[in-house]
Structure 1
Amino acid sequence: MDWKAEIAAAAERSSAYVQRTPVMRSTVLWDHPVDLKLEQMQHTGSFKARGAFNTLLSQPVPSAGVVAASGGNHGAAVAYAATQLGHRAQIFVPEIAGPAKIALIERTGAALTVVPGEYANALEQARAYEAETGAMQVHAYDAPATLAGQGTLMREWEQQGLDADTVLIAVGGGGLIGGALGWLQGTRRVVAVEPGQARTLDAALEAGAPVDVEVSGVAANALGARRIGSLCFDLAQKYLARRVTVTDAAITEAQRTLWQAHRLLVEPAGATALAALRSGAYRPEPGERVAVLLCGGNIAPDPLG
């Protein structure tokens, strides 16, 4: 697949519907300046709106509408995109999505079902709903339209003047980092950052194929896929520079520091990439210019909810 062409097409069709999120340079988060992309300021508080809009705009939507399973952020994005485009939406989320993300989906007006267990349990019910109703499944990460939509973020960042050698990106199911790899294709170093208790990409690359892993920890409601997507896995084998894992303590420390230093309120998943830099899990070479993607801001509990 020509990912650069797919991502460029996704950007063209969805540009009127998604936010062009800000970038900034911080001189206090690490020993050297760090470029940040503030994607927590995207519609519904995460990058997921990009893939949702691209999916719904790139193909006919049946009268039954759309269905999605999500840890929270993807469901909110699909619900928002469907509402904006005039489609019905049924969202399934696991209990671990948490009150902030559940409330966010409810505010869109979409139909919502909270499922006992983890993301995989919500996905099972979403697939059953798809088979029963004919609704269009919008996969959270392992679908070409989703991945191409997420790839518009990296394309946009480069248009905003990104000059980093290395970009640190958190990994869940792989849609976001897959999109970045599909756009960059080795022109910059991409470092995958995963919680140590949710290492789907790390385990897959060790095994030579996607495998199921147990997931838990502070970022599990966003980075809690049990298995890396096959699209991301293939791109990572070709283009990923490095992968590292971080502890829950490092994630919460980075989350706290972003708030204290810049009044940037992000969820644990949104702080995971920065945690690699601050904890030393990733140590840049002398002179290496580093950028960090802040991918989501749906914190629980929502302090203003």
Structure 2
Amino acid sequence: MAARHATPLQALLVDERFDGDIYPHEPMARHTTYRIGGPARFFVRVGSVGALTRLIAVCEEEGVPWVAVGRGSNLLVADEGYPGVVVSLGRDFRTLRVDEEAGRFYAGAGVMLSAVVQEAFRRSLAGLEFAVGTPGTVGGAIAMNAGSRDEWIGSRVVSVTTLAPGRGLVRRAGDEVAWGYRSSSLPADEVVVECELAAEKADPFYIRGKMEANLAKRKKTQPMSEPSCGSVFRNPEGGSAAALIEGLGLKGAQVGGAQVSQAHANFIVNTGEATARDVRDLIALIQGKVEEAHGVKLAPEVRFLGFE
């Protein structure tokens, strides 16, 4: 294609100075923990804030849809794929610094949350044990306030820096963000780029004990060995999605290759050949049966990408 006929996005993606790796028509099954998903028009791993800023600006200017993803641990991508740009955070977003005296972690959004948990344990810093075994990145964890009903990452955020389209970098104190159950008030069109997390010195045996107990509970109650997106539904107020689903005898229910886990009723696993449609149809089946029996409309926690 002659350069003069290229769109601004195409021109950017063939610019040798652009600090990123570009994968056209990249299967998203390679980038989700479900191992499901058709091709993204472009999958772009950006290496710096400058590259991220340029890429988003061009997408906004052209009206090309874009989305930032971490490890795809709560993502279901349509079998047809995604007609826009999927942005992944590379090199500069994968740095982790620790101020041991102050009990502070300075983590890029592309750092694995599990790496922060292990580093905290290594330095006898407590407060992040609840996140042991969590498969996502720091950025994804903050955007959705990952954690349990009793402990969540938002309570550990001292500050968070995002990239806002058209405005540049925005830094917010942790207490300026409203942290909800599996949610935060961070705008959906802003990309988390870095955060500062607080921890405190503690006995390493205490930290190890909490980590081992949390991991043992996770292994006992969750299907760790099968591809899934984690919890599919948010718990309704004062209730448990898993209990409602299990109470209706839906453990083991199957649509195509998608199955309600025998280990945990709020997990839908890919038994090997599941399509996104299988998962979506099973979600709809569960929602219908729970609403019919209990009058409760279960809200999905999983993010849908590329669906109508």
TM-score where L is the length of structure 1: 0.25
For CA contacts below 8 A with separation 6 or more, give which structure has more relative contact order: 1
Structure with more strand by fraction:
2
Structure number with the higher helix fraction is 1
Larger Rg belongs to:
2
Q: TM-score, normalised by structure 2?
A: 0.25
